[in-house]
Amino acid sequence: MKAIQLFAALLIGGAATAATAAAPAPAPADSAKAEKIYKATCMACHGAGVLGAPKFGDKAAWGPRVAKGKPALYTNALNGFKMMPPRGGNPALKDDEVKAVVDYMIAKSN
Ligand code: HEC
């Protein structure tokens, strides 16, 4: 009987560990999604600095923009700003998705 109990304990313990590992923490999941959207929609300009877009990862280009505050950057990303098209030209993106990508770009360029 002891062996069975031990086996059961291992099984339950193993399942609990697997469940913990499988449960995605909210932040990495959001950032993975944001990265996907960035690559699909924003990288065309922000990857290489097309039309004067602040380049992804370019601290000098993003610094003064980040200094304006996130709300201003969200608004400009949503509504467009000079050569920056509204929602990066993808009207299907939800507000929260656009904001998450802005957060993602800032986090990687700071
Ligand atoms: C067609 C090219 C293009 C695409 C696609 C694009 N951007 Fe931009 N973006 C620009 C340009 C150009 C600027 C710089 C505008 C300026 O300051 O003259 C800019 C600036 C920005 C800024 C800074 C705005 C500010 O207030 O300084 C943010 C934030 C931004 N883009 C987010 C995004 C996001 C998020 C996406 C994808 C959903 C995206 N962009 C896709 C061209 C693009």
Q: Which of 31, 41, 46, 76 to mutate to test the pocket of ligand 1 (most atoms within 8 A of CB)?
A: 46
pLDDT of residue 1: 54
pLDDT of residue 50: 96
pLDDT of residue 10: 46
Q: What is the pLDDT of residues 1-20, one digit of tens each?
A: 566 565 554 445 544 444 45
Among 53, 21, 25, 41, residue whose Cα is nearest residue 101: 41
pLDDT of residue 71: 97
What CATH code is carried by the domain that includes residue 47? 1.10.760.10
Which positions of the chain have pLDDT values less than 70? 1-28
Within 10 A of 61 (CB to CB), how many other CB atoms are there? 16
The values of phi and psi at residue 55, to 5°, are -70, 145
pLDDT of residue 16: 47
9 part of a folded domain: no
Instruction: Say how many Å lie between the CA of residue 32 and the centre of ligand 1.
Output: 20
Indicate the number of domains in the chain: 1
